[in-house]
A and B are shown apart, each in its own frame.
Chain A
Amino acid sequence: MSPVRAVIRKEWYETRRTPAFWIAAALVWVAVLGGALLDWRAIHQENRARAEAEAQERAHYLDRPQMDIHKYAHLGMHVFKTLPGTAAIDRGVDEFTGVAIWLESHKPYDPLLRAADRMPDVHRFGTLSAALVLQLVAPLFLILLGHDSFTRERERGTAAYSHVFGLSTREFVRAKLCALGLMAALLLLPPTLAVSLWLASTGEAVGITLGGLLLVYGAYYTLWASVTVSLSLRMRSGMGVLAVLLPLWFVNGFFVPRVIAEGAAVIVPMPAASHVRGRMMEEIEQMDARPALDARLASLLTQHNVTRAEDLPFSTDGLQYSVGEEIANEIIDRHRAPVYAALRAQTAVLQWGGLLSPHLAVTQLSQALSGTDALADLYFVRAAESFRRQMLHVLNQAMMRDKRAAADDGALSRHGDHEVWSKIPAFTTPAATTVDLVRSYAVSALALALWTLAALAGVFVALRNPRLESRG
């Protein structure tokens, strides 16, 4: 047996005799599997309920009797967001974003039905999830497992024996790192693989997501393992390593993310909702579409070579609503633009914050890959607004239909029926493409890569002058 393997075997022998390791392993397995199972069940139920709600809304929408098309546009409908199955690994910010949007003529509405609104207040302390374990608890176990990997040898005076077996310091460190990696893998791989296989068996296309997640978490654990080993190589005692690493873990996982999120709100303040919505609704309700309508009519009269609106081959009823919608859309875009800009800018600040806290980078990448990040919500909101406009365009066009056809039908030109309603397509929740993800989260990926490289460089620096011999 090679000396490196002998060291790994010895580490494993020592670790497996430690009850704390098995307790930790059991906790991690149960927490990852339990968290993923609970989240998967919740997502499954939610998605089913959302699909049911969507179907119900659409059925009502299509089944409406013949009526005034504009009234129909005001009766509106809800569209719902669906979650990908990978959200079972990381629920991200999903509970803090709305899942439905009400679509109506003239007016935009914000997302409704945030899950967090109805949860007990203790929910603000967090929820048990696979992501929580992978992002916070797993690094803590890595610290506890690895903090004394070299200090223990030094304190016992056994490091020198490694040379007797012909092991160089570099090989000794490599063996220790391998042992730590194996133990971390034993802690994390079984539940993660189980969750992956289970998600794959449900028919979800999870290949890219799981590959990405494996890469991200692999880099994150390499970072923590490297920092732990470097400190263990350089510091006098295991106590000293813990005294440095535990505060680091706290600052990285709890303190800096909250401070950066607060800092993002200071650097890029979000406009007050009451102000934005108040002004926007006020402008929409007070808007005067008449000048634009007159201009449009004049152009149409010239185009059709007639002098009166009544002589146009189509009804002008829909035209006034169409022009009204265009003006309202301009008002909506103008008022919502600063909100979207602030949201994007705050996301950018949070991403740059990854340079201060790798936890921030990992969390954002994990959420993005799972499809539960803040930008996924933004996609949904924008897609819903675009769908609203498309829906109103179809309805307003229907109102502008041929007068003769309307007269043949014996209906009022403003009235529509199932034939008109069914022209409106079904809404689908958009998903970010891989290109979108790369473009949106390049900074987080860069931050994580830099941290990991810096930590690996730290191991090499520590290797140059390791403190393996006992000084006492």
Chain B
Amino acid sequence: MSAWRTALRLEWRLLGGARLVVPMLLVLTALCAAAGWRGGTWLDQQNGAIAEALQRDRAVDRDLADTARQLNRGVLDDVPWWKDARGAQAHSYLIWRHAALPPLASGFVAAGQSDLQPYLHRVLPHPRDRWAAQQDYAHPWRLALGRFDLAFIVVWLLPLLALALLAPSLAADREARRLGLLTVQAGRPWRLVRARLSVRVGVILVTALAALLTGAACSGYLWMSTQGMSDVALQFLLALGYLCFWCGLTLLCSAWAASQRVALLLLGGLWLCLTMASPLVLHLGAELRHPGPSPLADFLTQRELIQDARDREMELLEAYLRDHVDLAANPAAAAMLKPETLVITQTNLIVDREVRPAVRAIQAQADALAGVRGRSVTYGQWLAPGYVVWKGLSELSGTSASRYRAFERQLFEYHARLADAFFPDVMRRATLAEPLQAPHFTFEELDRAPIRYRAVMASTTLTVLGAGFVGVALVVLRRTGE
């Protein structure tokens, strides 16, 4: 039997053999399976809600058309204006257009911002504060803690696997005063490290990969689409890169530390810093460096604008009718200017139209601030490799903040289009045909190439860093010896 194989067998025995590896694999696989299943359930819930909403959109269109036909034939009794399907004014309350952000097939890996940001809006032509649908219901505790997803396992648990299996290796040898002997027997430090790494890192990577694959399979979304599969493959690549980083770092600490205890404390501290403390510092830094107006300040500005327009709503209606001669000739439009008329829809629409440019500017400013803060975090992100990986997994899952911001921007423009399509019809009290042709929303997906490129680069950087740490560990071993 060659020396290499003997070293491998010895290392396997030192590691505890199948007695340690099998339970570890089982536990990790069970956790990944549970996380994958929950991720799949969350995707099912989103897809189900979107399908139901779109079905309801179609049903509403159909019902309104039916009711209008019956009203035209005089089958139905007289109905109040807000239910009269012949009028666009009633439609402004009755017709809904759902705007949805469809989840990606790889979304089960990382919940990202998907539990926080709305993915479905029930859009009315009325101003936005009149829409019903905003965020999904969730216990705030669950939001504060975050989901139990595969990203959680990758970012927080997998490094602990590397720590548990690799930390005692060289430090224990040094503590037992056998490190020098082993190095002499191996010939060179590299051979010793290679034997150690081959078995332990092999066990870590194989265990992690098997568990993650099981988790992905349990989600039920792994085989959904080729694009989804390639995204999941990239996510696994990123996870493995992160593991390589931790394996390298652990080996370095193990090679440097005088005892197992020092190695364990050092690595525990590093784990705490890199996965917990540095993201906190990044967040704090971004908030302190770029303090912006609170959401409430923006809200107050918008409310001021709305109230101001609300005070002038009749003037604005008159001006609108002056600018649209064809509408002004309509008796229904002229009747709206009488004080005893209950005008709600028209004034809502005219106020919304008046404040829209200013609101767009406020939102653009808020978006710009979010961008600046995001960039500020990105500059320092390598202080927190855990955050880099979490962000990469979220981007590939389609649950990153940038995708939701894009959805918000598209939604704002869509709402403007919908309101503009409705407004003349409402003023005319037009019949059904026009409102039913109001545009539908389709999300324009972001370009995925830069996201994939970033993921590959992050994975490569982490792997290279891990390899670098192994190199430094060899130098440390050569210099310090016993």
A contact set with B: CB distance below 8 Å: 38, 45-46, 49-50, 52-53, 56-57, 60, 68, 70-71, 74-75, 78, 92-93, 95-97, 99-100, 102, 104, 107, 109-110, 112-128, 132, 140, 144, 238-239, 242-243, 246, 250, 254-255, 257-259, 261-262, 264-266, 270-278, 280-282, 285-286, 339, 342-343, 346-347, 350, 374, 377, 412
Q: Is A278 in contact with B147, judged by CB distance below 8 angstroms?
A: no
A122 touches B286 (CB 8 A): yes
Interface-located stretch among B13-21, B138-146, B199-207, B472-480: B138-146
B202 CB to nearest A CB, Å:
23
- Whether the pair A107, B132 counts as a contact (CB closer than 8 A) is yes
Q: Is the beta-carbon distance between A68 and B342 smaller than 8 angstroms?
A: yes
Q: How far is the CA of A371 from the CA of B171 in the complex (A)?
A: 48
Contact of A343 among B136, B139, B272 (CB under 8 A): B139
Given A102-B129, A281-B132, A412-B340, are A261 and B148 also a contact pair (CB < 8 Å)?
A: yes
Q: Could you jot down 7 A-B contacts, CB within 8 Å?
A: A109-B129, A115-B294, A118-B295, A118-B370, A125-B390, A239-B260, A278-B132
A127 near B133 with CB under 8 A, answer no
Contact B94 A285 (CB under 8 A): yes
Q: Which residue of B147, B297, B303 is within 8 Å of A262 (Cβ)?
A: B147
Alpha-carbon distance A347/B138, docked complex (angstroms): 11
Asked whether B147 lies within 8 Å of A120 as measured between CB atoms, the reply is: no
Give the residues in chain A near B129, CB-CB below 8 Å.
102, 109, 112
Asked whether A122 lies within 8 Å of B279 as measured between CB atoms, the reply is yes
C-alpha spacing A193/B297, complex, angstroms: 33
B356 close to A (CB within 8 Å): no
B344 CB contact (under 8 Å) in A74, A93, A115, A343 = A74
B450 CB-CB contact with A under 8 Å: no
For A249, the closest partner residue in chain B by CB is B268
**Interface residues in B278-314 (C-beta closer than 8 Å to A):** 279-284, 286-287, 294-297, 299-300, 303-304, 307, 310
Bound Cα distance A243, B94 (Å)? 63
- State the main secondary structure of chain A at its contact with B: helix
Q: CB-CB < 8 A to A96: which residues of B?
A: 116, 140, 143-144
Residue of B nearest to A274 (CB): B49
Q: What's the minimum C-beta distance from B330 to chain A, rounded to whole angstroms?
A: 22
A427 to B300, CA, bound (A): 18
Given the interface pairs A46-B294, A53-B296, A275-B49, the reply to whether A121 lies near B122 with Cβ below 8 Å is no
Bound Cα distance from A97 to B384, whole angstroms: 27
**In the complex, which residues 141-186 of chain B have their Cβ closer than 8 Å to any Cβ of chain A?**
141-148, 152, 156-157, 160
Other-chain residue from A107, A127, A266 in contact with B283 (beta carbon distance below 8 A): A127
In the assembled complex, B379 has its CB within 8 A of some CB on chain A: no
B374: Cβ under 8 A from any A Cβ: yes
Other than the given A93-B141, A278-B132, A374-B140, 17 more pairs (CB < 8 A) read A38-B284, A96-B143, A104-B130, A114-B135, A116-B143, A117-B135, A122-B279, A122-B377, A125-B283, A144-B265, A239-B261, A264-B139, A271-B137, A273-B137, A274-B120, A276-B137, A374-B139
Nearest Cβ on chain B to A151's Cβ, whole angstroms: 10
Q: Whose C-beta in chain A lies nearest to the C-beta of B297?
A: A49
B133 touches A71 (CB 8 A): no
B180 shortest CB reach to chain A, Å: 22
Asked if B303 contacts A56 (CB within 8 A), the reply is: yes
Smallest CB gap from B271: residue in A: A250
Kindly report which residue of chain B lies nearest to residue A266, judged by CB atoms: B38
Residues of A within 8 A of B143 (CB): 93, 96, 116
Q: Say yes or no: B134 contacts A49, CB within 8 Å.
A: no
In whole Å, how far is A223's beta carbon from the nearest beta carbon of chain B? 21
Residues of chain A within 8 A of B296, CB atoms compared: 46, 49-50, 53, 99-100, 113
Most buried by A among B38, B148, B260, B400: B148
B133 touches A261 (CB 8 A): no
Given A56-B303, A70-B342, A100-B299, answer yes or no on A261-B142 (Cβ-Cβ < 8 Å). Answer: yes
Question: Is B52 interfacial (CB 8 A cutoff)?
Answer: yes
CB of B62 within 8 Å of the partner chain:
no
In the complex the two chains form, what is the Cα distance from A104 to B122 in whole Å? 17
Residues of A within 8 A of B391 (CB): 121
Give, as a whole number of angstroms, the nearest-CB distance from B454 to chain A: 14
**Please, which residue of chain B has its CB at the minimum distance from the CB of A412?**
B340
Alpha-carbon distance between A261 and B133 when the two chains are bound, in angstroms: 24
Taking a contact as CB atoms under 8 Å apart, the answer to whether B112 and A121 are in contact is yes
